[in-house]
Amino acid sequence: MAGPLHGLRVVELAGIGPAPFAAMLLADLGADVVRVDRPGPGSPLSVDPARDLLNRGKRSVVADLKTPAGVDLVLTLAARADVLIEGWRPGVAERLGVGPDPVLARNPLLVYGRMTGWGQDGPLAHTAGHDIGYLALSGALHPIGRAGGPPQVPVNLLGDFAGGSLYLVVGVLAALRSGRGQVVDAAVVDGAAHLTTLLHGLLAAGAWRDERGVNLLDTGAPQYDVYRTADGGHMAVGALEPAFFAEFVRLLGVSDGPDLRADIATAFAGRTREEWVKVFAGSDACVAPVLSLREATRDPHLVARGTFVDRDGVVQPAPAPRFSATPASLGRPPALPGADAGDVLAEWEA
């Protein structure tokens, strides 16, 4: 199965952070993604290339962009591609000779996707940063946590991947739909701010307080929270609607009252997580066990849907979303740097 993006050619200038995930998502959906790696060892934070799942489905060539030959290779690939993605600081691609001007001169219809934390302009554009800082400045970090406590760090899923990678992919696909060659400036800080649109609407309507842990969706409500079980596990509760809440308190064995949060916590602490899973199984109480990464791969619902797949002994999320007419499938395993140098140019001649 080729996937909905079959035939799309993407050049990815290798880097770290959300750009590789964006390129992986395009590859998952069927695009032919060629990663241009730098010669020599990778980043000190790099994992074994054969286990770097952000590079699955891609092919790799190596180019030294400090040499004319390396720059020419990138420009040659870009001339035959539909999309180029880079995730460097503003100005780096221009200094290396592979910025938007020379690339679009070679291929005026190409979409040039740029992924940064702070954006291509603005006072912070050229300063270093990481996911947590982009979330902090955008307002997205402040609501996450409990009343009286500090903001909690949501790994780097909310900033790098939700506010960064996914917005880059949306921007690239929208630009392709426009039929015009152009530059897409995707910044994590912009995407993270955009993700708070609902909260800004609630704030304007007087339905949200600009405080942490006092609102309906931020642990301010006892029926939307996480509770510890007898064995040290946790159950997540999201029984917001009246019918679901009634089902929840009935099965939990508590009644709605002034001490509801304490009553819920006491009840959950009386049984193990698996015992509570059986209690709420098949109900509309909106209760689910909090599973670890490894546990999630064995959950019966996710197993039935094929949400995770095993490729060469590495269990990993399957491509998402799903398509009825052009289903995506897991592509080639992560490419070793330079492994495809002999094939890519020849195949991209057409």
Which among 6, 130, 256, 343 is annotated as catalytic?
Answer: 130
Entry pTM: 0.95
pLDDT in 10s for each residue of the chain, 350 residues: 589 999 999 999 999 889 999 999 999 999 999 999 999 766 545 678 888 999 999 999 999 999 999 999 999 999 999 999 999 999 999 999 999 999 999 999 999 999 999 999 999 999 999 999 999 999 999 999 999 999 999 999 999 999 999 999 999 999 999 999 999 999 999 999 999 999 999 999 999 999 999 999 999 999 999 999 999 999 999 999 999 999 999 999 999 999 999 999 999 999 999 999 999 999 999 999 999 999 999 999 999 999 999 998 999 999 999 999 999 989 899 988 988 888 898 888 75
Question: Is 301 labeled as catalytic in the residue annotation?
Answer: no
Under 8 Å between Cβ of 81 and 11: yes
Residue type (1 letter), 293:
L
Question: Is 130 labeled as catalytic in the residue annotation?
Answer: yes
d(CA 189, CA 133): 9
Those residues with Cβ within 8 angstroms of residue 184's Cβ, 6 or more apart along the chain or in another chain: 111, 112, 113, 114, 168, 171, 172, 175
Kindly provide the residue ranges of all beta strands, DSSP E only, lying in 274-331, ordered along the sequence: 287-289, 308-311, 314-317
d(CA 333, CA 257): 54
Which among 28, 82, 131, 160 is annotated as catalytic?
Answer: 160
Query: Domains in the chain and their CATH numbers?
Result: 9-195+319-347 (3.40.50.10540), 224-291 (3.30.1540.10)
